[in-house]
Chains A and B, each alone.
Chain A
Amino acid sequence: MAKTIEEINERISRGEAVVVTAEEIIGLVEKKGVEETAATVDMVTTGTFGPMCSSGAFINLGHAQPRIRVHRAWLNDVPAYSGIAAVDVYIGATEVAVHDPLNEVFPGEFRYGGGHVIEDLVAGRKVHLRAESYGTDCYPGRHWEKDISLADLKDAWLFNPRNAYQNYNVAVNLSDRVIYTYMGVLRPNLGNANYCSAGQLSPLLNDPLFRTIGIGTRIFLGGGVGYVAWHGTQHNTEVPRTERGAPTRPAGTIAVIGDLRGMNPRYLTGYSMLGYGVSLAVGIGIPIPVLDEEVVRAAAVRDEELLAPVVDYSVDYPQGTGRILGEVSYAQLRSGSIVVDGKEVPTASLSSYSRAREIAETLKEWIREGRFLLACPAELLPCAPRDKGVS
């Protein structure tokens, strides 16, 4: 029995929609089967919260008097890209504050950067703007300083070119020294294994073939409302998959956009990765409309069935050898240890499962209260195996 997004929206508006999280649907399908679940449930909510480096915000600063064509700009001493129109800038999550010692004293601490600027703005804190220019006839200003806050900015949108990676590497260290990576601190000789995905709760792992997610899909973004703008950079769907279609390598990604106003620092948090740099932890939740049984089958996926590749970050990742040490399931990862090369290795996560759960629950509440309707995607995201009819 197929449903349409319009039908589901009508049920949301009437307060009748049946919404469950991507965790809850697992038990439901076990108990009632796919067919009955598809008939009764309208929507599955997902969630993820973790560092997503390919993030940033477009900001329009408003005009100064006299006008200035901002040529260089800094927000709390973090450089913002200003090679666009006069007072538009883009603050990237991984940009580091000027004068940061970087990795000169190794491992660098990277205390403050673009991710923190975005968090400060969303938290309502003042951020110091400094801008310089060379002066033109129409824009004579050469220097501009002031404190800005989200409330008085003309526009401020989060626009992240690559978020919510569908599956990711498990990082280990085969060398005999500690290494400091974007996947966290990795102790020598397989001292620990770090992973970064919410597994069975993760948005793109619940719609592995992009049968519902597309351009214009309305989502939970950073505590507010956002949209899928496009597929993300490095989006790649031609990867090995499990029998049920879940990619066993990093695969699809999404580009997302949303108004910073209405977002919440709890779901948009500046991160400092020791010895690596700064980043932004982003909370994303995507509602998956139960259009048919296929959607239910995919969304009922369990951590036991989701596999991630184990990769050495001392040589293989930096050198791009492509070697994989093995595959482990998210159930094993979440159990606290995995086995690599016959050795038991304790696991740690960079992605917060508890906050992913919180996001899926929040989105469920929004939908139940009728505050959040589904948007019909203008076009589904590219997915080669879907188009070839693999299911």
Chain B
Amino acid sequence: MVRHKIVLHFPHEQVDKPIVSKLVRDYGLDFNILKASITPREEGLLVLELTGKESDYERGVQYLRDCGVSIQPLSQDIRRNEERCTHCGACLAVCPTDALRLDRDTMQVAFEQAECIACELCVKACPPRAMEIHY
């Protein structure tokens, strides 16, 4: 099993085609949409997390390329500035995954980067601004 976060740029003419659902149907990949938007020039931007068998993943990515979609790995990373984190827990209210969790014994907030989908919701919701975006 592999899990990759990738950024897809769709050309104008592909925006309304059901490309992503095909990944599930024909390649057995699970996906999680981290971000989706259409640029002013009507190109599509999609940040996906794909999970599946390595060989299926390779084939699926090839299929996307064949459709004219350009693919880049997600290079943006959310990291926590440990010095600044006060372990208040305000971020728990916004994090959609299990990346930020409260340990009920120590009452400290743990950050599990592997679970983070880089949605950035915590970045501005953190009062001391301890969650940082790195490119």
Interface string of B43-87 (1 = CB under 8 A from A): 000000000000000000000000000000000000000001011
- Stretch binding the partner chain, chosen from B18-26, B32-40, B103-111: B103-111
Contact B127 A281 (CB under 8 A): yes
Q: Would you give the shortest CB distance from B19 to chain A, in whole angstroms?
A: 31
Judged by a CB distance under 8 angstroms, whether B94 is at the interface is: yes
Residues B108-135 near A (CB distance < 8 A): 108, 124-125, 127-129
Q: Are A349 and B94 in contact (CB under 8 A)?
A: no
Whole-angstrom distance between the alpha carbons of A109 and B124 in the complex? 7
Whole-angstrom distance between the alpha carbons of A192 and B87 in the complex? 18
* Closest A residue to B130 using CB positions: A269
Contact B88 A351 (CB under 8 A): yes
A184 and B93 within 8 A (CB): yes
Chain A residue numbers with a CB within 8 Å of B86 are: 49, 269, 281, 352, 355
A353-B107, A354-B108 are contacts. A185–B93 as well, Cβ < 8 Å?
A: yes
A187 and B125 alpha carbons, distance in the complex (Å): 12
Contact size class for A? 35 or more
B28 / chain A contacts, CB cutoff of 8 Å: none
Q: A336 and B90 in contact (CB under 8 A), knowing A51-B127, A184-B125, A272-B129?
A: no
Q: Once the chains bind, are B127 and A349 in contact (CB under 8 Å)? A: no
* Chain B residues within 8 Å of A346, by CB: 92-93
The one of B93, B104, B107, B124 in contact with A348, judged by C-beta atoms closer than 8 angstroms, is B93
- Bound form: Cα–Cα A98–B45 in Å: 36
Interface of B is mostly: loop
Chain A residues positioned under 8 Å from B89 (CB to CB): 348-350, 352-353
**CB nearest to A270 among chain B residues:** B128
Task: Give the contacts of A334-354 with B (CB-CB under 8 A).
Answer: 334-336, 346-354
Instruction: Point out the residues of chain A lying under 8 angstroms from B106, CB to CB.
Output: 354
A352 to B: closest C-beta gap in Å = 4
| In the assembled complex, B102 has its CB within 8 A of some CB on chain A | yes
In Å, the complex CA distance between A206 and B3 comes to: 49
CB pair B125–A185 under 8 Å, yes or no, is: yes
Q: How many residues of B contact A (CB 8 A)?
A: 20
Minimum CB–CB distance from B27 to chain A (whole Å) comes to: 34
- Is A354's CB under 8 angstroms from B87's CB? yes
A187 touches B127 (CB 8 A): no
- A311–B39 alpha-carbon span in the complex (Å): 40
A271 at the interface (CB under 8 A from B): yes
Q: A348 to B129, Cβ gap below 8 A?
A: no
CA gap between A111 and B88 in the complex, in Å? 18
A239 vs chain B, min Cβ distance (A): 26
Asked if residues B90 and A281 are in contact (CB atoms below 8 Å), the reply is no
Closest to A279 in B: B127
Among A107, A109, A187, A353, the residue within 8 A (CB) of B94 is: A187
| A348 to B104 alpha-carbon distance, docked (Å) | 12
Query: How far, in whole Å, are A201 and B93 apart by their CA atoms in the complex?
Result: 22
A354-B106, A354-B108 are known contacts. Are A348 and B127 too (CB-CB below 8 A)? no
A227 to chain B, nearest CB (A): 24
A:105-121 near B, CB below 8 Å: 107, 109, 111
Which B residues lie within 8 Å of A351 (CB)? 88
Please judge, given known A-B contacts A185-B125, A279-B127, whether A355 and B87 are in contact too, CB under 8 Å.
Answer: yes
Q: Is the CB of A192 within 8 A of B107?
A: no
CB pair A185–B128 under 8 Å, yes or no, is no
Our pick among B94, B102, B125, B129 for the contact of A336 (Cβ within 8 Å) is B102
A374–B82 Cα distance when bound, in Å, is 34
Contact across chains for A348 and B92 when beta carbons are under 8 A apart: yes
Q: Is A161 part of the binding interface, using a Cβ–Cβ cutoff of 8 Å?
A: no
Q: Are B90 and A350 in contact (CB under 8 A)?
A: yes
Closest residue of chain B to A201, judged by CB? B107
- A109 CA to B104 CA in the complex, in Å? 30
> Is A194 part of the binding interface, using a Cβ–Cβ cutoff of 8 Å?
yes
Q: Does A291 touch B at the CB level, under 8 Å?
A: no
Closest to B101 in A: A336
Q: Using Cβ atoms and an 8 Å threshold, which residues of chain A touch B92?
A: 346-349
Q: Looking across the interface, which residue of chain B has its beta carbon closest to that of A195?
A: B89
The proximity string for A residues 259-289 relative to B, scoring 1 for CB distances below 8 Å and 0 otherwise, is 0000000000111111000010100000000
A-B contact pairs, 14 of them (CB 8 A): A191-B93, A192-B93, A272-B127, A273-B127, A274-B124, A281-B127, A281-B128, A336-B102, A346-B93, A348-B92, A349-B88, A351-B88, A352-B89, A357-B107
**A-B pairs with lowest CB-CB distance, top 3:** A348-B93, A271-B127, A353-B107
Known: A49-B86, A281-B86, A354-B107. 10 other contacts (CB 8 A): A184-B127, A185-B90, A192-B94, A269-B86, A270-B128, A274-B125, A349-B90, A352-B89, A354-B87, A354-B106
